[in-house]
Amino acid sequence: MPLSSAQQHALAHVDAIRPSLSAWTSTIFDFGETAWREYRSADWYIRTLRQHGFTVEEGSAGMPTAFAAHWSNGTGPSVGLYAEYDAVPGNCQAADTSKAPRSGLSEHAGGHTDPHSGLGIGALGGLLATKVAMERHGLPGTLRFTGEPAEKVRGSKPIHAAKGYYDGLDGILSFHPFYMLPMCNTVRWDTHCGAAYSMIYRFVCDQPEDWGRSDGAPIPQSHSAVRAPGANDALMMMYMASKALRDSMLPHQGGWSVSEAILTAGQATADNLPAGLAEIQYMMRMPTIDMAEQATAFLDRNAEQAARMSGCRWERHWVCKSRPGLANHAMANIVWDALQAVGAPRWDEAGRAKAREIQANLGLDPMAEPFIEEMERLIAPQEAEAILRRDLPPSQRNSTSDDYTDMSWHAPLARFYIARPALRAPAGYRYPGWVMNALGGMPETIDPMVTTASKVLALSALRLIEDAGARKDARDEFEARTGGGVGGADWIPPLCDYDPPIHFRWPEYVETPRGRDWWIPSQPNS
């Protein structure tokens, strides 16, 4: 369908601010801050949004690195967009064509893998272009823009959802970088992401001296006297017993998995005393809530028995509980129209030259066309859906996980993907992981994705603002799928019944006599 004057204005504005979008993407990429500790990234977004006329609530829903921004041009429709900006420990890579951490850091520091640096700035570009077009053409309506920390642990969106930050919107637009078929330059159709549960099991050994004693007498004053095995033993028993859960699922089918991460209690200098505190985190991706609940019960039993055997008590602390996603074809069609109007991203000779330089540095023959060809094509939502369903049983409605799904139960939502840069590989060759991280940081290779996403978001948001019929179709479908909208017969309420898990030992900046560092080793060895 033809573009409106406001949509044309928005496209021109994205082109006009391309240099800023590029610089902003590099800024967030260089911050490389990990989950729940994105202090500089959140501060940058808050300051930038205020400079562009938005009212911003800092620390929304009790999360210090979250925010909720609001701008209104009078009474009218409301559209929601969002930024993610968390990075991943152990993936520190410079925006360079060879393997190297960012300056002054080691590879163990945080780095953007997806990259959320481009995700957030792509969304911000679409937001600002939509605002400028609404002002220029006198379009009434409201824009909301939330800052979503800790996406890698499915952190903020279930909490924002439970606190009402997505309520009352006419539509939500959810963008993510991707490069693999079928989710490349397309929109999800029926099969949305599934449920995700994540929790931390904490083992605490309060009275190691009483373990194994029947008379209650104190232990002798001797380092060799019997004490409880302690929290580390509990953690290892938990790890080994729960490994059976993962092994029983192999080979993983249908995009469901269980993974774990061991947190630290800082007891490296405790001499011969049994560990008093140990923590292990689990992340589960499941198609359904029932499956996640079953797996949680399994883990709870393991934790209880591990604690009993090692003289500990155990606690479970939630990191996230997110719902499976809800489809909305009307919203998907709005974004698909926008995608067709904008087209797939294109990489120019400067981008191809960077890609060839990476290939040469890896000892490969540089290719004339180094990028995967599907990255510069669109794929229709229904075609992508058919490819996705090939490996899924007919009864499975959801696959893998992502916390955008919590948004989909509060307003009509479209989830779409724009290609991020990825290289063709010679037969039998697999690129090392740093290559994708580097491609996400170099302006020549990541900017085409950011610009394309900004344009698709702006066109889609303005369609929702201007087209009452499109809004009605999306709302009618939302109410039909939920049995009456929020609170309807088929609506799944928020699962979040926990406080933001901000107080755990997530990787964090610390000031030391050696300078600013992370508590994980992030400074170069010298």
What's the confidence (pLDDT) of residue 245?
75
What's the confidence (pLDDT) of residue 10?
98
The H or E element that residue 476 is part of is helix 468-482
Q: Is the pLDDT reported for residue 435 higher than 70?
A: yes
| Parallel, antiparallel or unpaired: strands 313-322 and 509-512 | unpaired
Percent above pLDDT 70 for the chain: 91
Q: What is the mean pLDDT of residues 345-366?
A: 97
Q: Burial, 287: exposed, middle or buried (Cβ in 10 Å; 0-12, 13-18, 19+)?
A: buried
> What are 316's two structure tokens?
């479970």
Q: State how far the Cα of 445 lies from the Cα of 443, in Å rounded to an integer.
A: 5
Question: Residues 6 or more apart from 96 whose CB is under 8 A from it?
Answer: 438, 442
Q: State how far the Cα of 393 lies from the Cα of 411, in Å rounded to an integer.
A: 28
DSSP state of 417: E
Helix pair angle (443-466, 468-482), 10° resolution: 90
Question: Residues 6 or more apart from 235 whose CB is under 8 A from it?
Answer: 201, 203, 262, 278, 279, 280, 306
What's the confidence (pLDDT) of residue 357?
98
- How many residues are given for the chain? 526
Q: What is the mean pLDDT of the chain?
A: 91
What's the confidence (pLDDT) of residue 211?
79
Q: Is the pLDDT reported for residue 111 higher than 80?
A: yes
Q: How confident is the model at residue 106 (pLDDT cuts 50, 70, 90)?
A: confident
Question: Residues 6 or more apart from 377 whose CB is under 8 A from it?
Answer: 184, 185, 344
Q: How confident is the model at residue 246 (pLDDT cuts 50, 70, 90)?
A: confident
Q: State how far the Cα of 254 lies from the Cα of 353, in Å rounded to an integer.
A: 38
For the chain, give every residue range classified as CATH 3.30.70.360.
196-216+224-321
What's the confidence (pLDDT) of residue 519?
59
Q: State how far the Cα of 272 lies from the Cα of 295, in Å rounded to an integer.
A: 35
Cα 106 from chain centroid (whole Å): 23
Q: What is the mean pLDDT of residues 324-331?
A: 97
Q: Is the pLDDT reported for residue 253 higher than 80?
A: no
What is the SS3 assignment for 31-78?
HCCECCCCHHHHHHHHHHHHHCCCEEEECHHHCCCCEEEEEECCCCCE
Of 479, 452, 368, 348, give the one whose Cα is nearest residue 121.
452
Q: How confident is the model at residue 526 (pLDDT cuts 50, 70, 90)?
A: very low
What is the SS3 assignment for 477-496?
HHHHHHCCCCCCCCCCCCCC
Q: Is the peptide bond before 251 cis (omega within 30 degrees of 0)?
A: yes
What's the confidence (pLDDT) of residue 443?
98
For the chain, give every residue range classified as CATH 3.40.630.10.
5-193+324-482
Of 162, 178, 60, 137, give the one whose Cα is nearest residue 466.
137
* Tens digit of each residue's pLDDT (9 = 90 or more) over 123-166: 999 999 999 999 999 999 999 999 999 999 999 999 999 999 99
CATH dotted code for 196-216+224-321:
3.30.70.360
> What are 132's two structure tokens?
């400028």
Say whether 414 sits in a helix, a strand or coil: strand
User: Which residue's structure tokens are 């600013």?
Assistant: 516
Q: State how far the Cα of 240 lies from the Cα of 234, in Å rounded to an integer.
A: 10
Which residue blocks in 343-483 are alpha helix, DSSP H? 349-361, 381-389, 433-439, 443-466, 468-482
> What is the value of pTM for the model shown?
0.93
Superfamily of domain 5-193+324-482: Zn peptidases (3.40.630.10)
What's the confidence (pLDDT) of residue 177?
95
